[in-house]
């Protein structure tokens, strides 16, 4: 089966798909994106991803003349054409192509819209969840508008590379006050000794994680004790449990932080419950 990619109104074979060399996404990272989980051929939490995409576009004044229903159709159709049962669907919108110049082009041309779907190896993610992952912490080098999901991902690329070299799976970034902001591509969570689940409140310093929102629904519905507050690296290293959330991994247990075992050094029971029951609370499209 040849993979197909959606580019500006057409579904093209993977090897023929491309955008212009002067696309502003390519030259300036002047583009935003979403990654949704595909579970049993369905797109998980599409309305929340769509709302976040609209927020990112609005904050950057990127005009996308494709409506919500059409976006939903494009994403579903890309998943269907690529026969993805478990994996992800990626949508990217850039300010379009224009002669290289920093300010927005006038008049603004059409935005570039690209959609790709990819199958994952569920057994690989299941194995990670069964053993738990190691993470390291590093100063957060990013800009002050991390609430916008832009493709300006070099800090995350470099952090992930350092994590890999260190034998870890993820980096949790830390602000100037020693408080964890979030993972390079995930939301950070800990469980305190009294079983209170803690995650940093939303602000412009972190991405409003879609999985985060659904896990909050889950925690509230199931009556867990919950605090949206900043926590330090020391809080994390001495936590009862730790985990991270993202569309690509849902809920992943963290068993080691900076080389120190968390709790008993195995995935925590609360984390595993959240992981097992996550899709009961997520919306399907
Ligand atoms: N990453 N924080 C950052 C910086 C992220 O890049 C992501 C997602 C998250 C989790 O958000 P969500 O639950 O909506 O996936 C938090 C995606 C998966 C990625 O870039 O591949």
**Confidence category of residue 159, pLDDT binned at 50, 70, 90:** very high
- Choosing from 91, 246, 252, 279 the residue with most ligand 1 atoms within 8 A of its CB, the one to mutate for a pocket test is 246
Segment 246-273, tens digit of pLDDT: 999 999 999 999 999 999 999 999 999 9
Q: What is the DSSP string of 118-173?
A: EE--HHHHHHHHHH-EEEEEEE----S-TTS-BS--HHHHHHHHHHHHTT-SEEEE
Ligand 1 centroid to residue 247 C-alpha, Å: 7
Please indicate whether residue 149 is annotated as part of the active site: yes
Ligand 1 centroid to residue 170 C-alpha, Å: 12
Whether residue 239 is predicted with pLDDT greater than 90 in this model: the reply is yes
Whether residue 8 is predicted with pLDDT greater than 90 in this model: the reply is yes
The response to whether residue 248 sits with its C-beta less than 6 Å from ligand 1 reads yes
Segment 92-101, tens digit of pLDDT: 999 999 999 9
**Average of pLDDT values for 121-150?**
96
With both helix axes pointing from N to C terminus, report the angle between 46-60 and 68-81 in degrees, rounded to the nearest 10.
120
**Confidence category of residue 118, pLDDT binned at 50, 70, 90:** very high
**Are 28 and 102 a contacting pair, CB within 8 Å?**
yes
- Choosing from 47, 160, 186 the residue with most ligand 1 atoms within 8 A of its CB, the one to mutate for a pocket test is 186
The response to whether residue 179 sits with its C-beta less than 6 Å from ligand 1 reads no
**Average of pLDDT values for 21-40?**
98
pTM for the whole structure: 0.97
Segment 55-112, tens digit of pLDDT: 999 999 999 999 999 999 999 999 999 999 999 999 999 999 999 999 999 998 999 9
């Amino acid at each position: 089966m040849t993979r197909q990619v959606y580019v500006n109104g057409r579904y093209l074979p993977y090897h023929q798909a491309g955008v212009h060399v002067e696309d502003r996404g390519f030259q300036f990272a002047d583009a935003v994106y979403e990654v949704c989980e595909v579970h049993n051929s369905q797109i998980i939490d599409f309305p929340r991803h769509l709302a976040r995409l609209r927020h990112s576009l609005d904050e950057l004044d990127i005009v996308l003349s494709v409506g919500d229903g059409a976006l939903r159709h494009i994403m579903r159709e890309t998943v269907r054409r690529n026969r993805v049962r478990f994996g992800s669907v990626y949508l990217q919108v850039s300010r379009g192509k224009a002669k290289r110049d920093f300010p927005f082009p006038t008049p603004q041309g059409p935005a570039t819209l690209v959609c790709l779907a990819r199958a994952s190896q569920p057994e690989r993610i299941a194995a990670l969840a069964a053993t738990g992952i190691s993470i390291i912490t590093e100063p957060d080098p990013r800009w002050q508008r991390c609430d916008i999901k832009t493709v300006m991902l070099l800090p995350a690329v470099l952090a992930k590379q350092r994590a890999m070299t260190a034998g870890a799976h993820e980096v949790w970034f830390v602000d100037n006050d020693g408080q964890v902001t979030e993972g390079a591509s995930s939301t950070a969570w800990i469980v305190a000794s009294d079983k209170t689940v803690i995650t940093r409140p939303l602000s412009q310093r972190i991405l409003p994680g879609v999985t985060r929102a659904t896990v909050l629904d889950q925690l509230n519905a199931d009556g867990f004790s919950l605090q949206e507050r900043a926590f330090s690296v020391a809080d994390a290293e001495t936590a009862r449990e730790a985990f991270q959330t993202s569309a690509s991994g849902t809920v992943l247990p963290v068993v080691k932080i900076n080389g120190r075992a968390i709790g008993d050094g195995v995935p925590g029971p609360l984390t595993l419950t959240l992981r097992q029951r996550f899709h009961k609370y997520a919306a399907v499209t």
